[in-house]
Amino acid sequence: MNPAPLAAPEQIRVGIIGLGYVGLPLAVEFGRQLPTLGFDINAARIAELQAGRDHTREVGAAELASAAQLRYSADAAALAGCNVYIVTVPTPIDAAKRPDFTPLLAASRSVGRHLTRGDVVVFESTVYPGATEEVCIPVLEQESGLVYNVDFYAGYSPERINPGDHSRRLPDIVKITSGSAPAAADFVDALYRRIIRAGTHKASSIRVAEAAKVIENTQRDLNIALINELAQIFCKLGLDTQEVLQAAATKWNFLGFRPGLVGGHCIGVDPYYLTHKAQEIGHHPEVILAGRRINDGMGAHVAQRVMRLMTRRRIALVDARVLVLGLTFKENCPDLRNTRVVDVIAELRSYGIAVDVFDPCGDAAQARAEYGLDLLPGLPRDGGYDAIVLAVAHREFAELGAARLRACGRAGAVLFDVKSLLPREDVDERL
């Protein structure tokens, strides 16, 4: 049987599966040029987008309105009219830090039921090298009854969205592309070049593109782990880590990483996909896992430092009150997924400390559902806390300033700045 022909440019109808931080900007860009369906299983998400709102703050109302050819649906049957499918669902890890392909498999099943000859399925979700063809393609074949690279084709173009970063938007970030056959690779590359001003980089294979994505975040994770370990060393030496980093940064090739809590759905997760695959093929990854252990332990390190400061001031830990400012995984972003601020909270509570949390960006319902935390409705004014932990560098906290944040505490309360948001002289310690 001859391979099925690909759609002509004027025949392309795009379906985006998953409308989160990655999928929605993609749907909007394609929806300005091509008939595009934005599909998500969350009916509430579809309703808010149809009303012109995006709670993730990634896309404004004017941008949503500009996508004249974009429509939304929570009904998978609507995918039947598409011939290019782009899958942008999350790829989390389970409790044992193993890849959890549940969302990716569900998306592949939904797409597979609507595949026809000549269709192309592009995956953007971060995986290990080989996962697209080992995990997803068999599901597409089973659901559709079609043959891979004969009846339909695949591509991989890893997402590079940085949530909360409005200076680097989707069209301004170089896009890696790849395809399952030479013609498919050219097709996928041309498709993305329609919306990416920064240009594309066509990889030689899907596996190369998958590997490139997963090491982007692994490299960043390891660099942060090094700085986090240095921060622990400098603390014991009585040195201010930020001062040391500022001095070192005067050398032209010093990399500007900073210590912190490494959470979110990329840096704190993706390395485990690579290490899982490495172990499958008989290689034990030592450096990558060492970096993960350091970063996963930073929440407890922060809590221990706060408690040491409290003890030096003769503040009894049992029944003490601590206010944690910020819960989201990064600044100026409402996303609570895999936030490591919860590790700080858990460590403090394990010592009998009462912890309250305020976050001007985080969603209270999500905090309750995912972590059992009840966010305060506003910044307290009662001055009743023994310590304040500035955990997330939201711009609202910077605007309030140290004096207002200190007003949340009693006289002599500790102010610890995890993100070095405030001037050094205005805090008791910083990471």
Query: Which residues are catalytic, by number?
Result: 266
Q: 51 CB contacts (<8 Å, ≥6 apart)?
A: none
- Tell me the C-alpha distance between 110 and 113, whole Å: 6
- Tell me the C-alpha distance between 85 and 67, whole Å: 18
Helix (H, G, I), strand (E, B) or coil at 39: strand
Beta carbons of 222 and 287 less than 8 angstroms apart? yes
Which secondary structure element, helix H or strand E, spans residue 368, and what is its range?
helix 364-371
Q: 14 CB contacts (<8 Å, ≥6 apart)?
A: 27, 30, 34, 35, 36, 37, 82, 84, 85, 86
Rounded-to-10 torsion of CA 159, 286, 272, 136: 80
**Token pair for residue 336?**
């609570």
Instruction: Using the structure block, give the residue that is written with the tokens 């605007």.
Output: 399
The DSSP code sequence of 137-179 is HHHHHHHH---BTTTBEEEE------TT-SSS-GGGS-EEE-B
Strands, sheet with 36-39, edge to edge from the N-terminal-most edge strand: 70-73, 36-39, 14-17, 84-87, 120-123, 153-156
| Dihedral sign from CA coordinates of 16, 22, 27, 33 | negative
Q: 139 CB contacts (<8 Å, ≥6 apart)?
A: 105, 108, 109, 112
Beta carbons of 272 and 96 less than 8 angstroms apart? no
**Token pair for residue 389?**
């932990």
- Tell me the C-alpha distance between 281 and 23, whole Å: 32
106, with CB counted inside 10 A (0-12, 13-18, 19+), is: middle
Residue 132 sits at φ, ψ, to 5 deg, of -55, -50
